Amino acid sequence: MMEKVNIEEKFSLFNDYWSPKIAGEINDFQVKFVKLKDEFIWHMHEQEDEMFLIVKGKLLIKFRDKDVWLEEGEFLIIPKGVEHKPVAQEEVHALLFEPKTTLNTGNQTSEKTRTNLQSL
């Protein structure tokens, strides 16, 4: 079924951080909305590329050899196998586009690991 999605409205439906919500599916990919604040963990995705699109706020993505700042309206694709650590000094709203098999903490398990994602 085709339905338009209002991004701001969907972000108003939840308040938890680092817990992606499924907003849609495209073939074997999911569109996920996530709110971020503070530091995540160092991790990588061994089989999947990952895309961060910043809807609101400013996100720092740390890599072992450099840092990349993403601002509203910008996105970054992180290739599989690249270790990274997202950091949000203030609340950030991000859209993720990634394969359905992508675990938010990649090759790591922590209290921030989410296995059963809620649909919006």
Q: What is the pLDDT of residues 37-62, one digit of tens each?
A: 999 989 888 998 999 999 999 999 99
CA dihedral of 24, 30, 33, 37, whole degrees rounded to 10? 170
Quick one: pLDDT at residue 3?
A: 86
Ranges of the chain whose pLDDT falls below 50: none
Q: Which domains does the chain have, with CATH numbers?
A: 7-104 (2.60.120.10)
Angle formed at CA 6 by CA 3 and CA 12, multiple of 5 degrees: 130
Which tokens in the block code for residue 78? 């992180």
pTM higher than 0.85 for the full model? Answer: yes
